[in-house]
């Protein structure tokens, strides 16, 4: 199951990443640009912990937390063929390139669910399969931050 970083990140052809169907229409269109800030926040020194944080880890490492990049979410009838982000594959491949990966996936207890551990949909999407040494969190609810070590 281990894949090299370059193999995983080159599995998606940027030219072929295209919508499966029309984007979902229930979401509002994105803003043309972000609204202007109301005031500039004071800079936080790199050595200072984030507000409310209990971590004392240095702020030098970057980890990308990838949540639910599982093949079940491409199931054409369970969730429907419409895609809210037609460029998901190429966007994720680009984001993964420079980052260490921590990945979270859903494990459904219902044996009929495409997210059950014995179902094919439980598998990672090929271009996001964690490689040796990358951290994996398996969750049983919709949030990766409830009932997991990320809580």
What phi, psi does 67 have (nearest 5°)? -115, 125
Give residue 14's pLDDT: 44
Q: Comparing C-alpha atoms, which of 133, 92, 131, 135 is closest to residue 2?
A: 131
Q: Write the DSSP assignment of the chain as a string of letters.
A: ----HHHHHHSS-TTT---SSSBPSSSPPPPSSPPPPSSPPPPPPTTSPPTT------TT--EEEEE--BGGGG-TTTT-S-BS-TTHHHHHHHHHTTSEEEEEEE--S-TTSTTSTTSGGGSBPGGGPPPTT-EEEEESSS-TTSSSTT-
Give residue 117's pLDDT: 93
Q: How far is the C-alpha of 46 from the C-alpha of 121, rounded, in Å?
A: 40
Give residue 83's pLDDT: 74
Whole-prediction pTM value? 0.50
Structure tokens at 53: 């944080």
Give residue 118's pLDDT: 94
**What are 70's strand-pairing partners?**
124
What phi, psi does 9 have (nearest 5°)? -85, -10
Structure tokens at 117: 């551990």
Domains and CATH numbers, the chain: 1-13+60-151 (3.40.50.850)
pLDDT per residue as tens, the chain (151 positions): 444 445 554 455 544 444 444 444 444 444 445 555 555 555 655 555 555 555 555 556 667 788 888 888 877 777 766 777 888 888 888 887 766 667 888 899 999 999 999 999 899 888 888 888 888 888 888 888 888 887 7
């Amino acid at each position: 199951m281990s894949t090299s970083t370059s193999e995983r990140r080159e599995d998606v052809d940027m030219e072929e990443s295209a919508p499966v169907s029309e984007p979902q229409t229930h979401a509002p269109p994105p803003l043309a640009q972000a609204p202007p800030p109301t005031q500039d926040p004071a800079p936080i020194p790199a050595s200072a912990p984030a507000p409310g944080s209990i971590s004392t880890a240095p702020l030098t490492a970057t980890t990308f937390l990838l949540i639910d990049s599982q093949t079940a979410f491409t199931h054409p009838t369970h969730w429907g063929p419409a895609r809210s982000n037609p460029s998901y594959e190429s966007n994720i491949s680009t984001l993964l390139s420079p980052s260490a990966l921590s990945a979270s996936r859903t494990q459904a207890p219902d044996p009929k669910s495409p997210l059950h551990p014995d179902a094919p949909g439980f598998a990672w999407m090929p271009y996001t399969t964690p490689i040796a040494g990358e951290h994996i969190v398996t969750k049983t609810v919709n949030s990766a931050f409830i009932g997991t070590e990320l809580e």
